[in-house]
């Protein structure tokens, strides 16, 4: 600490300040130490020490606040949590070891035996398996619905419904759900609305400000943004987050401090990246529409998209993921993918590197034929997560694919 009479507060509470998104993404949550480090510090330690046995006892009993063990709290993880809470506009965030751990922990912490969940049928494949195969064993039941129809959400409600779960826009077809309308419905039935905000991130869409109760992220995708670490986070009100935190510290699905630090570096450029991903994806979607060999393009930024107006209302841009159907059969789609040279063939998304995948046989491969048909996942469908390479180079690569159909 300096003795200067002109002192700046050493710990500004950015969560409370009226700063813009890009400022919060760079500065919220940093706890500068007496070393005066400019960048966020990283604390790779499993446990913490006490000055006395009395202090140790007070920490363990909860009479004194402070770190005990990194499964419970870690300063680097706390800094990431504070930054995420600030960006999503929640009271508090709880970081988790993966996006799936974030979903599991939220359900275990806030639901009990006999409860019912209404879930979009177009959520991430592992989310469907989690509900169908594992949470069902604990007596939590689920009904999957067409995410685009508010009436379908309504029709699925039972007296036991306690949670609505959605992902908007959806993967890979860019289907939207009206967050405000479904939140009103959920609240009229005393149920929580949980939104997996992976595809937009808070840079493009803040579900808590539109009526959602809880936001979930796979930090693995755009929050990292460069394909380095697996992690997740849950954001919401203090009351629910205390329950989620209680489960994480007991159940052990905690985030490592190194991964939290990488995600904080990712957040610093989140807004810039999301704007750039969205601009490139829109340009490519419009361009793909004009190419022969392409039957349909799915991207909510296109004026032809049936929910384009809703996308403009609840998002500030349309995101970096698009999909399209090629003319022909599955073999034509595979020839397209195999003919590209630069774009990575991988199921991951939200990376600076563009990726291309065939959902029918990979990310959605374990769904039944009927479920794929219901969800509109065709054999001719290809998904591209548009990265930050030059748009001209991405087009040139896609032209190789088109020539191979």
- List contacts with ligand PLP (CB under 6 A): 98-100, 124, 167, 171, 196, 198, 218, 220-221, 230, 232
Calpha distance 130→122 (Å, rounded): 14
Q: At closest approach, how far in Å is the CB of 166 from ligand PLP?
A: 10
For the chain, the farthest-separated pair of C-alpha atoms sits apart, in whole angstroms, at: 75
Q: How many CB atoms lie within 10 A of CB 239?
A: 10
Closest CB to ligand PLP among residues 232, 320: 232
Cβ atoms of 194 and 165 closer than 8 Å: yes
CB of 116 to ligand PLP, least distance (A): 21
Identify whether the C-beta of residue 382 lies closer than 8 Å to the C-beta of residue 295. no
What CA–CA distance (Å, rounded) separates 266 from 260? 10
* CB of 98 or CB of 340, closer to ligand PLP: 98
In the complex, the smallest distance separating the C-beta of residue 258 from ligand PLP, rounded to whole angstroms, is 16
Question: Is the Cβ of residue 98 or residue 307 nearer to ligand PLP in the bound state?
Answer: 98
Strand partners, 216: 196, 234
Smallest distance from the beta carbon of 125 to ligand PLP, in angstroms? Answer: 9
Specify the residue, 99 or 320, whose C-beta has the smaller distance to ligand PLP.
99
Pick 76 or 357: Cβ nearer ligand PLP: 357
Select 29 or 350, whichever has its Cβ closest to ligand PLP: 350
Least CB distance from residue 352 to ligand PLP, whole Å?
A: 16
| Backbone φ/ψ region at 296: left (φ over 0), alpha (ψ -120 to 50), beta | beta
Identify whether the C-beta of residue 113 lies closer than 8 Å to the C-beta of residue 138: yes
* DSSP 8-class letter at 232: E
Contact 306, 146 (CB under 8 A): no
In this structure, are strands 381-385 and 355-357 parallel, antiparallel, or unpaired? antiparallel
- Sequential DSSP letters for 133-157: IIGGGGT-EEEEE-TT-HHHHHHH-
Q: Measured from the CB of residue 191, what is the shortest distance to ligand PLP in angstroms?
A: 20
Between 99 and 207, whose beta carbon lies closer to ligand PLP? Answer: 99
CB of 390 to ligand PLP, least distance (A): 25
Q: For the CB of residue 57, give the shortest distance to ligand PLP in the complex, in Å.
A: 37
What are the DSSP E strand ranges found in 304-366? 321-326, 344-345, 355-357
Cβ closer to ligand PLP: 155 or 345?
345
Smallest distance, ligand PLP to C-beta of residue 334, A: 23
Place of tokens 């054999």: 379
Within 301-380, strands assigned E span 321-326, 344-345, 355-357
Separation between Cα atoms, residue 260 and residue 101, nearest integer Å: 15
Residue number, 216 or 284, with CB nearest to ligand PLP: 216
**Residues in the chain, how many?**
405
Residue nearest to ligand PLP (CB): 99
Residue 104 beta carbon to ligand PLP: minimum distance, rounded to whole angstroms: 9
The CA-CA-CA angle for residues 267, 104, 230, to 5°, reads: 35
Matching residue, tokens 């930050």: 388
- 162's enclosing H/E stretch is strand 161-167
Give whichever of 14 and 263 is closer to ligand PLP, judged by the CB atom.
263
Radius of gyration of the chain (CA): 22
Smallest gap from residue 221 Cβ to ligand PLP (A)? 6
Q: What residues contact 212, with CB distance under 8 A and at least 6 apart?
A: 179, 183, 193, 194, 195
Q: In this complex, which beta carbon is closest to ligand PLP, that of residue 232 or of residue 257?
A: 232
């Amino acid at each position: 600490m300096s003795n200067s009479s002109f002192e700046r507060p050493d710990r500004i509470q950015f969560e409370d300040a009226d700063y813009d998104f890009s400022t919060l993404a760079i500065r919220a949550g940093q706890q500068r130490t007496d070393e005066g480090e400019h960048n966020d510090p990283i604390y790779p330690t499993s446990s913490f020490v006490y000055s006395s046995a009395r202090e140790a006892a007070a920490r363990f009993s909860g009479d004194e606040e402070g770190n005990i063990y990194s499964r419970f709290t870690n300063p680097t993880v706390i800094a990431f949590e504070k930054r995420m809470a600030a960006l999503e506009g929640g009271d508090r965030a709880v970081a988790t070891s993966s996006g799936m751990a974030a979903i599991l922990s939220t359900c275990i912490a806030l639901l009990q035996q006999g409860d019912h969940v209404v879930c979009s049928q177009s959520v991430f494949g592992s989310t469907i398996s989690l509900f169908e195969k594992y949470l069902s064993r604990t007596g939590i039941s689920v009904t999957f619905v067409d995410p685009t129809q508010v009436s379908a959400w309504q029709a699925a409600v039972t007296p036991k419904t306690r949670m609505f779960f959605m992902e908007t826009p959806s993967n890979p077809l860019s289907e939207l759900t009206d967050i405000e309308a479904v939140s009103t419905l959920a609240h009229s039935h005393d149920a929580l609305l949980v939104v997996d905000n992976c595809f937009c991130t808070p840079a493009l869409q803040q579900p808590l400000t539109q009526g959602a109760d809880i936001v979930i992220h796979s930090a693995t995708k755009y929050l990292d943004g460069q394909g380095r670490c697996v992690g997740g986070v849950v954001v919401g009100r203090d009351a629910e987050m205390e329950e989620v935190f209680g489960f994480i510290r007991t159940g052990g699905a905690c985030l490592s401090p190194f991964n939290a630090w990488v995600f904080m570096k990712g957040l610093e450029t989140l807004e810039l990246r999301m704007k750039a991903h969205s601009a490139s994806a829109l340009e490519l979607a419009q361009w793909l529409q004009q190419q022969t060999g392409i039957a349909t393009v799915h991207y909510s930024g296109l004026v032809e998209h049936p929910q384009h107006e809703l996308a403009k209302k609840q998002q500030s841009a349309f995101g970096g993921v698009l999909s399209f159907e090629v003319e022909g059969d599955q073999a034509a789609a595979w020839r397209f993918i195999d003919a590209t040279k630069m774009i990575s063939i991988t199921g991951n998304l939200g990376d600076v590197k563009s990726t291309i995948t065939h959902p029918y046989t990979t990310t959605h491969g374990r769904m039944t034929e009927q479920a794929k048909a219901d969800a509109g996942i065709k054999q001719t469908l290809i998904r591209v997560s548009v990265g930050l390479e030059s748009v001209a180079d991405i087009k040139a690569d896609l032209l190789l694919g088109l020539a191979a159909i």
